[in-house]
Amino acid sequence: MSPVLADVLQVTALVGALALVHRPLGDYMAAVYSSKKHLRIERWIYRGVGADPDAQMRWPAYLRGVLIFSAVGVLFLYLLQRVQDKLPLSLGFKAITPDQAFNTAASFVSNTNWQSYSGEVAMGHVTQTAGLAVQNFLSAAVGMAVAVALVRGFALSRTGDLGNFWSDLVRGTVRILVPLSVVAAVVLVACGAIQNFGDIHHITTLTGDKQALSPGAVASQEAIKNLGTNGGGFFNANSAHPFENPNGLSNLLEIFLLLVIPFSMPRTFGKMVGSLKQGYAIVAAMGAVWICAVVAVTWLEYAHPGTASQLAGGAMEGKEQRFGEGSSSLFAVSTTMTSTGSVNSFHDSFGGLSGGVLLLGMMLGEITPGGVGSGLYGMLIMAIIAVFLAGLMVGRTPEYLGKKIGTREIKLAACYILITPALVLIGTAAAIALPDGKAAMTNVGAHGFSEVLYAFTSASNNNGSAFAGFGANTPFFNTTLGLCMLLGRFLPMVFVLALAGSLAEQKPIPETAGTLRTEKPLFTGLLVGTLLIVTGLTFFPALALGPLAEGLTS
């Protein structure tokens, strides 16, 4: 079978699996967040911590829960790393330095999972499983909670109530993420991923050399790392490491895990606002951009991979033999477009133009399909902008899902879409202007610039993948990128929840003949167009200096 045919079959199988699963999973998630009943284990948790899961919260209260819970998470994870040398099962690893511990704590709590450390020689068993992996679950559950709160803003009327943050957090974790992770982890072990709490195993090879084999609870972390669109690898090589991703089947499973919740959430949205078609219009926009990028990157990696790759006969630098160009490209697009950032091949060595597409995937704001939760709320914000533009064209007050998009709503949406571009462009400019930026580049010329741009894009959009030649473990980058991750995660949430509150207070306006039909393909087209124009206007100059310059000169 030719590699191209195999790639086509693989994408078809993936899309088929997602299409099959999105319905039951989307409906299930809607039921989880709408149900009035608490499971027994949940009641134990609420009683143990003294939280009332039935108290309705208005948006400031909901937001306060999100922010304070996350701040406590950062602090806890920071301290855990700082005392690592005193913890049991730490494999002899030292305490993490303050700037790196801050960076890592910010990274995992903000669902970014940028890693300036190297897992196999830095993090012991306890830090990995009780620290990093826990935030893989919780940061994902927080993202989903905020998305659900926004959906409730559309679904509810004449109230300011958005639900209860504690109950949304606990339900997302206990009913959705944990059960799916158990299943996925067991399948990964069956493929060959390791799962133990042993010591580093020193062995002697047939040539008489020594080799050290790493231990770890890898499969359990791998499952949630991808399912929660986190992306922080157990090892430095991330999902390229054979212990994390042993074969073609585990690879497809991991890609599926990246995509399954983000592509199912529009169904949850449709279900909760009472019109499945509205959900389909959203998922169609997400899917269209994703599939175009998959085709583009795969084609570019085969056909226009760059000077060194052409000399070698193919773009295999930084890729694993068992995956090849096709499965690596599919993974790369899926991870950059879901704000995950796990990698099964190193994006730094992708061709100039395909690297540019991966960058663009993040610059779109991580909404095609985006991270768990964040993808949906980001796309809904973009839908509000699209509705607003359409309203301007015909001179009508825009409305979306029966809610008026007035001055307050559009201001909040506009603030949302300004935050990450500001962080990315100001951050990149500052790093390039200061000596720190140039010192951190592995590569020269336009590609070196791309490394810096990629780092700030990845951190601010909470992706976490890197052009990993970039030497980011310096106090300057640990701090600035750490701040970008926190601001890029939590400032948008402020605007999303404020918007949700404002929508929930409105009374619904009846649909008339003049209402824009947001469930139709025309709207999906308008949405994709809006997305591309907004992103293009913002980032084209930066892209031209980096990947475009590199791709067009090679």
Partner 1 sequence: MNNSVTSTLRVAWASLRILLVLTVVCGVIYPLVVTGIAQGLFHGKANGSEVKVDGTVVGSELIGQSWNIKGTKTPDPTWFQGRPSNSGYDPLATGSSQLGANDPTLVKNVRAARKQVAEFNGVPESEVPKDAVTGSASAIDPGISPAYAEIQVKRVAERNRLTAAQVERLVQDNTTGRTVGFLGEPSVNVLKLNIAVKELATK
Give the integer Cα–Cα distance in Å for 485 and 107: 6
Give the integer Cα–Cα distance in Å for 306 and 303: 9
Minimal distance in Å, beta carbon 460 to partner 1? 21
Q: Residue 512 CB, nearest distance to partner 1 (Å)?
A: 43
Gap between the Cα atoms of 315 and 3, Å rounded: 13
373 makes contact with partner 1 (CB under 8 A): no
Determine, following the binding rule CB under 8 A, whether residue 391 of this chain makes contact with partner 1. no
Smaller CB separation from partner 1, 95 or 186: 186
Report, in Å, the least distance between residue 349 CB and partner 1. 6
For residue 369, is the peptide bond before it cis, meaning its omega torsion is within 30 degrees of 0? yes
- Judged by CB under 8 A, does residue 2 bind partner 1? no
Q: Closer to partner 1 by CB, 74 or 527: give it.
A: 74
Q: How many whole angstroms separate alpha carbon 531 and alpha carbon 515?
A: 21
For 68-81, b/e burial (b = at least 16 CB within 10 A) is ebbeebbebbbebb
CB nearer to partner 1: give 328 or 518: 328
The residue within the footprint of partner 1, chosen from 143, 163, 341, 352 (CB under 8 A), is: 352
Give the span between the Cα atoms of 341 and 455, in whole angstroms: 11
**How far apart (Å, rounded) are the C-alpha atoms in residues 348 and 468?**
6
- 202: helix, strand or coil: strand
Task: Give the nearest distance from C-beta 368 to partner 1 in angstroms.
Answer: 24
Residues between 194 and 233 that touch partner 1 (CB under 8 A): 194-198, 200-201, 203-209, 211-215, 217, 219-221, 223-224
Binding status of residue 514 toward partner 1 by CB under 8 A: no
At CB < 8 A and 24+ separation, what contacts does 451-457 make?
451/348, 452/428, 453/359, 453/424, 453/428, 453/542, 453/545, 453/546, 454/347, 454/355, 454/359, 455/431, 455/481, 456/423, 456/424, 456/427, 456/428, 456/431, 456/481, 456/484, 457/359, 457/362, 457/363, 457/424
DSSP annotation of 96: P
Q: Which of 76, 93, 280, 299 binds partner 1 (CB under 8 A)?
A: 76
| 397 backbone dihedrals φ, ψ, rounded to 5° | -65, 120
| Site for partner 1 contains 63 (CB under 8 A) | no
Task: Kindly determine how many residues on this chain lie close enough to bind partner 1 according to the rule CB under 8 A.
Answer: 127
Query: Hey, which residues between 104 and 143 contact partner 1 (CB under 8 A)?
Result: 118, 120-121, 129-131, 133-134, 137-138
Max intra-chain CA distance, the chain:
80
The Cα–Cα gap between 230 and 541 comes to 29
CB of 89 vs partner 1, minimal distance in Å: 12
The mark string for 17-56 relative to partner 1 (x by CB under 8 A, - otherwise) is ----------------------------x--xxxx-----
Q: Which of 28, 98, 157, 318 binds partner 1 (CB under 8 A)?
A: 318
Task: Pick the binder of partner 1 from 152, 171, 225, 447 (CB under 8 A).
Answer: 447
| Of positions 151, 285, 455, 468, contacts partner 1 by CB under 8 A | 468
Stretch that binds partner 1, among 241-249, 282-290, 357-365, 523-531 (CB under 8 A): 241-249
175/403 with CB nearer partner 1: 175
We find the least distance from the C-beta atom of residue 342 to partner 1, in angstroms, to be 12
d(CA 335, CA 92): 32
Number of H helices, E strands in the chain: 21, 4
The correct pick among 100, 107, 164, 251 for binding partner 1 (CB under 8 A) is: 251
Angle at 164 between CA 25 and CA 483, to 5 degrees: 85
Report the SS3 class of residue 203. Answer: strand
Q: Determine if 92 is a binding residue for partner 1 (CB under 8 A).
A: no
Nearer to partner 1, 307 or 397 (CB): 307
Tokens of 413: 């949406």
Q: Supply the minimum distance, in Å, between the C-beta of residue 181 and partner 1.
A: 7
181 binds partner 1 (CB under 8 A): yes
Q: Which is nearer to partner 1, 69 or 476 (CB)?
A: 69
Instruction: Give the one residue of 97, 236, 474, 515 binding partner 1; rule: CB under 8 A.
Output: 236
H-run or E-run covering 286: helix 276-303
Span of 150-158, 282-290, 377-385, 437-445 interacting with partner 1 by CB under 8 A: 437-445
